[in-house]
Amino acid sequence: MMTTERRKLTEPLRSVTVIFGGLLLAFTVIGVILALAGSGSLWGFGHTAICATQPGTYGSGDWGTASLGVTARPGASILVNGALQACTAHPGTGQRALYTLTSLPGWLVWGSVLFLLWRVISAARRTGPFTAQAATAMRRLGWLIIAGSVVAALIQGFALDELLNTMLVPRASFYNLIFAPLYALLPVPALAGAALLTFARFVRLGADMDDEIQGTV
């Protein structure tokens, strides 16, 4: 039976998870409605023009464009003002798909993190904090944060590089594919994931010790 102590034990994390989960769901629903109505954009769909920005510090104006040695493909334009940005007013289906992949994977990872975090909270409230179920849920959350951050960054970095390739000439390097996963993992996801994996071991050890004590009584 769920006790009052267990309910209090998961606060304020439970309330924060509910709030962020509700906001994520609300923004998704609103985005879908606006995109279907043609008055908004959801991950590149329902919007006419799309832009891709290459992280980094560059010059500005025509001098910055010339120094980078890149030119815009037909139908695209370039703006350099501290960062290189390429835009196209009439993107094709492939460009829209790439633009979607520059943001959707991260969105899905955060949704999955909130879901597994809720599983951790539910396990702690249902069976107690020092149980095998809570340890398993915590370990899955830790691996999701680490692996999900890297995989999402890889997909988003590849999509961004390919999207820029469709609008700029020449674009042979894969800067985002190489550095984006490292930037995405360090320092918060790596620390948070490692902490969860470590605490999962603590919880599992506590659960095993409790089973041993109960077995000797």
High-pLDDT (> 90) share of the chain, %: 28
Confidence of residue 29 (pLDDT cuts 50, 70, 90): confident
Domain that holds residue 159: 4-207
pLDDT digits (tens, 9 = 90+) for 107-144: 999 999 999 999 999 888 888 888 889 999 999 999 99
State the total domains in the chain: 1
Asked if omega into 187 is within 30° of 0 (cis), the reply is yes
Residue 216 is predicted with a pLDDT of 62
Question: Is 71 inside a domain boundary?
Answer: yes
C-beta separation of 134 from 120 below 8 A: yes
156-185 pLDDT, tens per residue?
A: 988 988 998 899 887 656 666 777 788 888
In a domain, residue 216? The reply is no
pLDDT at 192: 93
The stretch 53-66 carries a mean pLDDT of 61
SS3 state of residue 188? helix
Phi, psi dihedral angles at 90 (to 5 degrees): -130, 75
The answer to whether the CB of 166 falls within 8 A of the CB of 102 is: no
What CA–CA distance (Å, rounded) separates 87 from 64? 16
Q: What are phi and psi of 54, to 5 degrees?
A: -90, 115
Whether 65 has a pLDDT exceeding 60, the answer reads: no
Q: Residues 151-155: contacts with CB within 8 Å, 24+ apart?
A: 151/105, 151/109, 152/105, 152/106, 152/108, 152/109, 152/184, 153/106, 153/180, 153/181, 153/183, 153/184, 153/185, 154/180, 154/181, 155/101, 155/105
What mean pLDDT value characterizes the chain?
A: 82
Q: Is residue 214 one of the residues assigned to a domain? A: no
Q: Please report whether residue 30 resides in a domain.
A: yes
Count of CB atoms situated within 10 Å of the CB of 98 = 23
Residue 95 lies in a domain: yes
Q: Residue 154 falls within a domain, yes or no?
A: yes
Q: Residue 210 pLDDT > 90, yes or no? A: no
| 125 domain residue, yes or no | yes
pLDDT top residue among 212 and 115: 115
